[in-house]
Structure 1
Amino acid sequence: MKKRILALLAYVLPTFPLGFFWHLTIFADYYKSLNVYREDVIIPFGIASMLIQGVIWSVVYERMFSGEPILKGAFKFALLACPLAWSFMVLAVSAKHQMSSVPGFLTIETAFILVQYAIISPLIAAVYRSKSEQFVPTGSTRTAL
């Protein structure tokens, strides 16, 4: 249970500020020009969505990639998670929402997904890393397996 909570936090803690600053600050004018989002975004819905995604990704990672070395696990997870997230967060939205530029939306949101998963994949992988990569405190007499 502790690892699932840590993996959830590894997903939510970077995703919320990244999403907030990406969509509502850094590229806010660009998104406004796309005319795809409502003026009064409902932040609690976004937080709820991130929590649900984080729980699901935690379970998926634990069942499919637990015990992998960090980089290998992160890469495998990103290969699974990026296309899936892209399909429901980018492709589906561009298919059913009116916007001024579908290619523009696809480009900016694809970039967001790539940055997001480049950040969160190694963090989740670190939670479920192999025993040989477990951190041993300095001065400890324990050896890594």
Structure 2
Amino acid sequence: MSVVSAGESSRSSRSFWLGVAAYLAPTFPLGFFWHLAWFEGTYRALAIYRADPIIPLGLASMAVQAMIFSWAYPRLFPADRGSALKAGLLYGLVMGLLSWSFTTLAVAAKHPVASIVDYMVLETGFTFVQFLIVGPLMALAHRN
């Protein structure tokens, strides 16, 4: 049985919430601009998304993801002795692949999309950019 000091618990809580911010701060604006501005016409042509997206539901989804991804980081990298950049890029690769499996592969498999190839290219690009940013930020949030 281990006893966690108040300082360790406070640091752990602080790292958790910094990790949540490390996910939300880049993901929400990137997702908003990627899907609703930069590639909005392409997504409209794919006929996969609603004409009037419900932004609060998207933000709520991201908040749940942020908490899970932040909770997972110290469990996947418990003894982060390497560089934050290296650990973050590895974390981004692993979590990006997981995210890609349910946000790209599963969606393409279940939803009527005008072009599966175009959808997969766009969403793969989004997920790659997202976790290229989020991974290192998450590592910085959780560094000791």
What is the DSSP-based 3-state SS (H/G/I as helix, E as strand, rest coil) of the residue aligned with 1:38? Answer: coil
Distance 2:100 2:76 in 1: 20
Amino acid at match of 2:88: A
TM-score normalised by length of structure 2 = 0.87
Q: Report how far residue 75 of structure 1 moved.
A: 2.1
Q: Does 1:25 align with 2:28?
A: no
Q: Which has the higher helix share?
A: 2
**CA apart distance, 1:79:** 2.5
8 Å Cα contact 2:24/2:63 also seen in 1: yes
Partner residue in 2 for 1:108: 122
Q: Which residue of 2 aligns with 1:138?
A: none
Q: Aligned match of 1:88 in 77, 83, 102? A: 102
1:53 equivalenced with 2:68 (yes/no): no
Runs of 4+ aligned residues of structure 1 deviating over 4 Å after TM superposition are none
Q: How far apart, in 2, do the equivalents of 1:73 and 1:40 lie?
A: 38
Distance 2:115 2:129 in 1: 21
Q: Does 1:128 align with 2:142?
A: yes
Amino acid at match of 1:99: V
Amino acid at match of 2:64: I
Tell me the residue number matched to 1:139. none
What is residue 71 of structure 1 aligned with on the other side? 85
Report the Cα offset of residue 63 of structure 1.
Answer: 1.2
Q: TM-score by structure 1 length?
A: 0.86
Name the % identity: 44
> Residue type of the partner of 2:106?
A
For structure 1, the 5+ residue unaligned runs are: 132-145
Report if aligned partners of 2:18, 2:142 keep a CA contact under 8 Å in 1: no
Partner Cα distance (2:94, 2:38) in 1: 28
Query: What's the secondary structure of 1:127's corresponding residue?
Result: helix
Equivalence for 2:4: none
